[in-house]
Amino acid sequence: MNETPCRICNEPLVPVIDFGRQPLGNGFLLPDQFEDEHFFPMRVGFSDKSMMLQLIDQPAPELMFHENYAFLSGTSKHMEQHFRELAQQLMGSKCLDNDDPFVVELGCNDGIMLKNFAQSNVRHLGIEPAKNVATIANGKGVRTLSEFFTESVAQRILESDGQADAIIAANVLCHIPDIRNVIAGIRALLKPTGVLVFEDPYLGDVISKTSYDQVYDEHVFLFSGHSVQYLFGLYDMELIDVQPQKTHGGSMRYHLAQTGAYLVQESVSKILENEKKLGLNRASSFCDFSRKVEQSRVDLVSLLQDLKSQGKRIAGYGATSKSTTILNYCNIGPDLIEFISDTTPIKQGKFTPGMHIPVKPYDTFVANPPDYAVLFAWNHAEEIMAKEHGFMEGGGRWIVHVPKVGVLE
Ligand code: JHZ
């Protein structure tokens, strides 16, 4: 047993996997910052009581989310569409069916979702701790406060705007270590008929696809129906619906409300039943996952070394936060991967966290295509394949690591 207690139930955590020393997932940096780079021991633990898979240690939030935060949601066309559809679904839902609905989004990033509410003149408020990203959202006409959402921020919003009909959080709650304080704030801010809709990478997909790259500093929790039900039950809230999503390599959209306020959909019992079969509610089930992760590392490193020994040039596609875990856990550096192409200007010209592989603009990939490209942005595969015919026609090949390491034919 490890001594760090569960952030939800305070019981000791059972360590299930150790990824070793890891840097910040989005800590892209310049050579003069190499020496002071921040590392932390990335171990994952599980509590049989709260059924929550979580990081045992996590760097301070201020180290991860600040005025130079590197990830912008709007870099994917598919994600734009995904959030437009979610906004439309919510605008037609029962909880917003009144004269002056009010919607709050936690971690609204660059306003990718709330801009849809802003364009429809729905009263809204975004909360985004990363200042540079909040400025972009405000620039799009999305009313955004730049701070971390807490119970006391919820009180301030209550005084200025009143209770919310819906609170949304997409790829946000799994980042927050002090989640209990945030849920207390959500509970206070929501109307009795209000609904919380949030989505995050789903533990069931991570386990079934061995997508261990979903574990990095920012993702302190990997949720399941079981852990979400336990956690919100502490605040007299219940799961009323769940909807699996394709985004981020397999996510789950959870709908929650005050206990008894809404009819609970059948989807909830179905997902819980399925999770029991997969063993997502027991620490002992993660031994097999841990073995598969280790095998994935061996397979990826030997594939890259083999190609390199044949004189092939290898690059990466998408300097994702997820790739930070892969590169550091597998100890893959510039000797194996020449550069990683990424469309996000703030990452370009910098080096990847920990392994210091150069990040280059997409033009470099087009002008000087490698023989092989590791698809680090594998969760955007559909969108990327649709626009990258030229790479394969020119003889280029994709290397994937999810669900199994291999070369796409
Ligand atoms: P992408 C981030 O994770 C961080 P990441 C965060 N912690 C989280 O939870 C999820 O997002 C939501 C580039 N790209 O979406 C853009 C191309 O270069 O997998 C991005 O840098 N060309 C908040 O970083 C990266 O790849 C393209 O055609 O793992 C994709 O990052 C496309 C589509 C993307 O999230």
pLDDT at 74 over 80: no
d(CA 319, CA 342): 6
pLDDT attached to residue 68: 80
Q: Which tens digit of pLDDT belongs to each residue from 120-143?
A: 999 999 999 989 999 999 999 999
pLDDT attached to residue 409: 82
The dihedral of CA 16, 216, 384, 109: what is its sign? positive
pLDDT at 383 over 70: yes
Q: Which tens digit of pLDDT belongs to each residue from 77-103?
A: 899 999 999 999 999 999 999 999 999
Q: Is 364 in the pocket of ligand 1 (CB under 6 A)?
A: no
Query: Ligand 1: distance of its center to the CA of 354 in Å?
Result: 18
Mean pLDDT score, 104-113: 96
Q: Which tens digit of pLDDT belongs to each residue from 166-178?
A: 999 999 999 999 9
pLDDT attached to residue 6: 98
Q: Which tens digit of pLDDT belongs to each residue from 215-240?
A: 999 999 999 999 999 999 999 999 99
Q: What does DSSP assign to residue 368?
A: S
Query: Ligand 1: distance of its center to the CA of 259 in Å?
Result: 35
Query: Ligand 1: distance of its center to the CA of 320 in Å?
Result: 5
- 117 and 91 Cβ atoms separated by less than 8 Å: yes
Closest by CA position to 49, among listed 84, 1, 92? 1
pLDDT at 266 over 90: yes
Pocket test for ligand 1, best of 380, 384, 385, 387 (most atoms within 8 A of CB): 380
Q: Is 384 in the pocket of ligand 1 (CB under 6 A)?
A: yes
Query: Ligand 1: distance of its center to the CA of 71 in Å?
Result: 7
Q: Is 218 in the pocket of ligand 1 (CB under 6 A)?
A: yes
pLDDT attached to residue 291: 96
Ligand 1 atom 19: the closest Cα is on which residue? 377
Buried b (16+ CB within 10 A) or exposed e, 55-86: bbebbebeebbeeebbbbbbbbeebbebbeeb
pLDDT at 300 over 60: yes
Q: Which tens digit of pLDDT belongs to each residue from 176-209?
A: 999 999 999 999 999 999 999 999 999 999 999 9
Where do runs of H (alpha helix) occur along 190-320?
A: 203-209, 225-233, 266-278, 286-309
121 by Cβ neighbours in 10 Å (0-12 / 13-18 / 19+) ranks as exposed
Q: Is 133 in the pocket of ligand 1 (CB under 6 A)?
A: no
Query: Ligand 1: distance of its center to the CA of 226 in Å?
Result: 27
Q: Is 348 in the pocket of ligand 1 (CB under 6 A)?
A: no
Mean pLDDT of the chain: 96
pLDDT attached to residue 2: 54
Biggest CA pair distance of the chain:
67
pLDDT at 67 over 90: no
Ligand 1 atom 26: the closest Cα is on which residue? 318
pLDDT at 282 over 70: yes
pLDDT attached to residue 76: 83
| Predicted model pTM | 0.95
pLDDT attached to residue 119: 96
Residue 171, sorted as left (phi over 0), alpha (psi -120 to 50) or beta, turns out to be left
